[in-house]
Amino acid sequence: MKLGAAYLLAGFAALACGEEEPDLERGTAPQIWCRGLCAAELHCGTKHTQDRCEETCVAERPGLRNLSEDGARALRPCLADLPCAALTSGEELWRTELDACWESAKAAVDVSSHARSVCTAYVQDWFECGYSWSVGDCERAYSMWSDAVVTRVAECVDQPTCGVMRACDTMVWSSL
């Protein structure tokens, strides 16, 4: 009986400790993305403390609100494993590593129903304007973005001319 109570007490202690650690997959897209970056910064010693890293990261990067939560979840592990040189060697290496993370995340992200509903018409309209993009590639790419961004892109579909559609699309992406 005493052994059973000891196991039960140890189990509760383990559960209590597990609750103290943040769930890396929960929160807003900016929070999830920043958890990955903060993990890399902590590992590389570019941040002396984890305190407030996530909060500061989110505040300094308002554009992260344009990501989907699934996109941020797909990006987080890659960001956490960034090479230390990417954090300290300048903009070119940083961009190269971020681009690699983005491509990797696109291949792994769960396709959102919103992206799926937009991409068939979107790809068809671009095809009629002389561009080629698969529906699957569109779905994966747009699943990285928030529903608000995908909705704005969807407004570019069915424009009267290819030039108007191109201008609409350019305006959406340049405003992010």
Q: Where are the domains of the chain?
A: 2-108, 113-174
At 59 the pLDDT is 95
pTM tops 0.85, yes or no: no
Nearest to 67 by CA among 146, 143, 138, 148: 146
At 46 the pLDDT is 78
At 19 the pLDDT is 42
- Cα separations in angstroms, 168 against 120, 126, 161: 18, 12, 11
At 164 the pLDDT is 96
Taking 50 as the pLDDT cut, the residues of the chain under it are: 1, 3-21
